[in-house]
Amino acid sequence: MDKSDLGPEYQGKTFDWYQTVKAFLPDMLINDKGHIVTVASLAGLSGCNKLVDYCASKFAAVGFDESLRIELKVAGKNNIKTTVVCPYYVKTPLFEGASSKILPILEPEQVAAETINGILTNKEMVIIPGSCAVLAALKTMLNWKAVYAVLHVTGITASMDEFRGRKVPLKGD
């Protein structure tokens, strides 16, 4: 992998949402009211084979949300909420060919419903399906060999073997 592999697509995934928040946050700060939702992925909590650029952008999204939440709290802006959404694979063209050994590929409607519920209940993080929260917590407690074993047993390490996915067109294409 070289720098060009993390080109416009990676930059779009990491900087476009940053620019969107930058556009709306000043008014939220003035009104001390608002809710910022960052759509990340479980790939922002654990790496995945054949998705280095995607995982890196989603780790950035999770870190952005957490850091922004801390800054808002320190600034006393308790009425501006943030929610980061971390779904498993969603049945869209983006993940065409992805496979799942244990968990079902999610329907977009389920992700939308759980996201809305998370917003309405002011959840800081929405992990979909919720059972994956256990895996995310285990990752913080286990050593690397154990984490890899969990990823391997659950099929995550092979989930992208048949991945075809949509290639996101670059601006100007």
Under CATH, which number does the domain 7-11+34-158 receive?
Answer: 3.40.50.720
In this prediction the pTM is 0.82
Question: Is residue 54 annotated as part of the catalytic site, yes or no?
Answer: yes
Q: How far apart are CA 13 and CA 4, in angstroms?
A: 15
Residue of 10, 18, 54, 88 marked catalytic: 54
**Predicted confidence (pLDDT) per residue in 61-102, tens digit:** 999 999 999 999 999 999 999 999 999 878 877 666 666 667
DSSP state of 36: E
Check residue 129 and report its DSSP letter. Answer: S
pLDDT digits over 100-119, tens only?
A: 667 787 899 999 999 999 99
Domain ranges of the chain: 7-11+34-158
Instruction: Name 36's bridge partners.
Output: 82
